[in-house]
Amino acid sequence: MSEYTDFELEELEEQRYRKPKKAKQVEATAAKAKKKENYESNADVQRWLQSQTLKTDDLSKAAFNPTFLAGKRDESWILSSLTDFYEQDLITDVLHVVKSGKEATVYCCTADPETGLAYAAAKIYRPRMFRSLKNDAVYRLGRTQRDLDGNVTRRDQRNAFKSERGRAAQISSWIDFEFQTHTLLHSAGADVPKPLAHVGNAVLMEYIGEGGEPAPLLRDVILTHEEAPILFECILHNIELCLAHNRIHGDLSEYNILYWQGNVLLIDFAQAVDPRQNTDVFPLLSRDIARVCRYFARFGVNTDAEELAMEMWKKYQG
């Protein structure tokens, strides 16, 4: 949706006539606003989203109409992203926003009784997510890219993702890889929320917390000096477990580790990479470990991050 209101767009249009010498600048600003406003309603993006939705012949369910979304500016976009989870008997309502960032927003949903859960977390990606990902080439090289038809794209196809259709394919491939990674690690016994489903630009997973109180990020927690070394070893074990299953988180820090009831869970695998696809990703592993070590140092856990990373990498390669 546009970051400008209709009133602001009208003001920009009037400025074109009040200040002729700045007409080109104002016109460019208005065009930029219009482009942002239309991106999520772009025909190619909408066709992609529609192609991702599941077809159902079940007409017995009432229309999905969560009360939280009433009057929200992006109501239609959120509904198009979450309705399939409702149709699959995975969620029944949307309660509130848990976390909102540039690429995605996480919502707390009431889980359908069929899931055996009280709540579920729905992560909805915006189609313009790649505009805010910087220096993502190393991440693209560390994963398989596919086009809208599911075909693997070669690394030399540099112009494959420049069109809106290409961007939709890139987003689809990117989110699918994140869900695959999440599912793989959960099956391997890693400390991650249980993944539930993935359709289009939305991922559904176990909600960590108690309804209105989501689990805090590790950065917001004051650890005791007794539990800090235990949690540190737990996170290192998870990093090594990920690596043993050919995954590097790629953006790990206290900002995407949850703390709940004395335990930690890793989240946000959007930038995870497969080291088999690109052997030059060791710096990502090293950075992940360095950030974790830096955080725990404030609680008296003193380690050599570089040595830990090298030992883990050599063990993986051996």
Domain ranges, residue 246 = 215-317
3-state secondary structure of 54: coil
- The set of long-range contacts for 28-33, using a CB threshold of 8 Å and a minimum separation of 24, is 33/2, 33/3, 33/4, 33/8, 33/9
Residues 90 and 150 in one domain: yes
Residues 109 and 194 in one domain: yes
Residues 92 and 182 in one domain: yes
Q: What per-residue confidence (pLDDT) applies to 79? A: 87
- What is the count of structural domains for the chain? 3
Residues 128 and 190 in one domain: yes
pTM (two decimals): 0.75
Q: What per-residue confidence (pLDDT) applies to 273? A: 94
Which residue among 210, 238, 254 closes a domain?
210
Which residue among 210, 240, 271 closes a domain?
210
Tokens of 70: 């009433």
Phi, psi of 96, rounded to the nearest 5 degrees? -170, 170
DSSP state of 218: G
On whether residue 222 sits in a domain, the answer given is yes
Q: What per-residue confidence (pLDDT) applies to 8? A: 46
- The set of long-range contacts for 58-62, using a CB threshold of 8 Å and a minimum separation of 24, is 58/87, 61/86, 61/87
Cβ neighbours for 45, distance < 8 A, ≥ 6 positions apart: 39, 127, 164, 167, 168
Q: What per-residue confidence (pLDDT) applies to 102? A: 75
Rounded Cα distance, 3 and 165, in Å? 23
Residues 194 and 267 in one domain: no
pLDDT per residue as tens, the chain (318 positions): 444 444 444 444 444 444 444 444 545 544 444 444 444 555 555 555 665 555 555 556 788 888 787 667 777 778 889 999 999 999 999 999 999 887 889 999 999 999 999 999 999 987 655 454 444 555 555 555 544 444 555 554 444 445 555 565 667 778 899 999 999 999 999 999 999 999 988 999 999 998 778 999 999 999 999 999 999 999 999 999 999 999 999 999 999 999 999 999 999 998 999 999 888 899 999 999 999 999 999 999 999 999 999 999 999 998
Residues 18 and 93 in one domain: no
Which residue among 184, 210, 236 closes a domain?
210
Cα 178 to the chain's mean position, in Å?
A: 8
On whether residue 1 sits in a domain, the answer given is no
On whether residue 260 sits in a domain, the answer given is yes
Q: What per-residue confidence (pLDDT) applies to 7? A: 40
